Every structure is written in C-alpha cells, then in structure tokens.
Amino acid sequence: MALLFVFSALQVSGKTPYEFSVYAGGGYACFLYRLPNAEVPVPRSNDLYYPAISGVSSSGSAGELGVGFTGFITPQIGLHVGLGLGLHNVGTNVDSLKIYKDDVLDDITGYHGDWYTTLFDYRETHRTFSLSIPFMIQFQTMQNQSGWNRRNDAKQGFYAMAGVKLNILLNNTYESKMASIYNLEHVLDLDNWADTQEFIGLGKHKGKSSKGDFGYVQALLAIEAGMKWRVSDNMYLYTGAYLDYGLNDPGKNSKTPLDDYDYRFPKDMQLELLGFADRTNLLVIGIKLRLAFIKYFDQMSCPQF
C-alpha cells in the first residue's frame, strides 16, 4: 500500500527520479523511564520517607539492516519506505525497589502487621529481533539529476528524514533477576518489630530469576540526517546519524505492578517482569550508511559530472 501511494504521487510529477537502496546502521540503545513519585515510610519512624525506587540505569546496543525505496515528488522532497531487520539488546539495573504494605493479615500467625520489603539489585535484559518498516519523508539540498535544472553540479549535499517506524517483533524475550530480598514487619497487634522469622518470609533471602516474552508491535518516531555523496552517474552514498524514539511499550501488558505482587514468601514466589515505571520508552542513537541507485521514470540517464 505504501509503495502504491508513492508511485501514484510520482506519476503526477512527470520526470521524477526514484532510488532503490540498501542500508545498515547501529549504535547505542537504552530505556527512558518516567518513574512514579512514590515514597514509602522509613521503618521505625512515623515522619520520614524515602523514594520507593532508586538507582535506575539502562544501556545496550541496536542494529538494523534493510532495503528501501525513495520516490521524489520534487527535486528536494521524497517519500521513503523500506523493509529491514532490527536487533535490540538493552539492559536495565535498579539499585533498590521498596514496597510498603500496611495492615497485612498473616495467615500463619494470625497477627496484623505493616510490611517493609526491599528488592536489591533488580536487573532486566530485553532482546528483540524485529521486522522493521519505516515510513519517512526525505528532504535534500539541490543536486544535479536528469530532468531537473540545477544551478550547480554539486557532488554532495545535505539530507534529512523524519517519520515513523513500525517494528513487528519476531522474537522478543526478557530475563529478570534480583540479588536479594529483605522483609521487615511491624506487628501491630504486639507493637513489635520482627525480621528473624524466616518461616513467614521475614529477613533477608536470596534473589530469584525469570524468563519470558512480551509484546508484538512497537511504534517509533524516526529521525535521520547527514550527507549525500554522489559516487557515480546513478549512485549515491548516504552517511548520517539517526535517532529512534519508542512511542509505546510493547511489554507493558507483561509487567506486574509492584503493589500487586506478593513478596511475603520469597522461597515460594516466582519473579516476574516488574512494572516499576509509569512509562518506558526505547531510545536508539546511531550511525547509518545507505547506498542508493537512482532511476528515472522517463528512462533518461543521469548526465556526466
């Protein structure tokens, strides 16, 4: 459908060129988190609070390889569609996650208590292999091409592209783990603090790990800019930098909110992918090379330069 739209637009403009291209790129990737303004009370204090989430960092890598088609509506504006394969490998580390639950009824002891839980060194690793489909508008400075009058015969020029990219996740997995978990309880019925009764989940315990998959489609805002070099009569080389910004979180429905998860029995619990952030966006910054072969609807050849 996208190609039909591009061809229809080109037929209106007459002697317009179009490009077939192959491209490759890669660079740095990370997750941007919007954390909730959540606080939990400090144990043994009634008037002090600390952040529920601390020490969040993320880093990883991304790469893509594909083919593209660009049809020019005017000498400076074109429509670009493509089909490629993308890889993302991004990890996240959270120093500590703190959960507070008040007036919890313990089924074993029968007492009511306030629970203070801390997860230490929680980590996530996301790996995706996707089919990437970009829809972009390209702007370029004036360069000599058949059928168009040019003021000069420039061998290089500037270009910029903007649009959206759809990633259909063909293989999308995650791994999550934490180093340890600590439970402390204020027993309301006895007005006493407890953290040594391991049989009801109190104290410090070894961490857990889990694996799974998530989501199917990811939408991204795509921006690219750089230089366009004329290699020969009908060949151009694009060298540029690109930025992809995730507009949705494909793993959102696979994440368990912190408040909905029960950490009172660490030996029996199964760790899941945790939803500790209100919003998660993928960010990729990298470099891209694109080799383009130019053709013309009127079959004219590009003049020598």
How high is the pLDDT of residue 142?
67
Q: How far is CA 113 from the centre of its chain?
A: 40
Q: Which helix (H) or strand (E) holds 67?
A: strand 53-72
How high is the pLDDT of residue 198?
86
> pTM for the full model?
0.85
Query: Between the CA of residue 31 and those of 98, 107, 117, what are the distances in Å?
Result: 21, 39, 25
Structural domains in the chain, sorted by start:
2-296 (2.40.160.20)
Strands 274-275 and 256-257, by their bridges, are parallel
Reading the block at residue 156, the tokens are 């290089």
How high is the pLDDT of residue 149?
40
Reading the block at residue 168, the tokens are 């259909």
Rg of the chain on CA atoms, in Å: 27
Which residue has tokens 């959540």? 38
Pairwise CA distance, residues 171 & 175, whole Å:
14
Q: Does residue 15 contact residue 48 with C-beta atoms inside 8 Å?
A: no
Strands 53-72 and 17-34, by their bridges, are antiparallel
How high is the pLDDT of residue 268?
78
Q: Which residues pair with 79 in a beta bridge?
A: 71, 137
| pLDDT lower than 50: segments of the chain | 12-13, 146-151, 299-305
Reading the block at residue 22, the tokens are 């192959």
Pairwise CA distance, residues 7 & 10, whole Å:
5
How high is the pLDDT of residue 4?
53
Q: Does residue 57 contact residue 31 with C-beta atoms inside 8 Å?
A: no
Pairwise CA distance, residues 185 & 300, whole Å:
81
Q: Which helix (H) or strand (E) holds 7?
A: helix 2-13
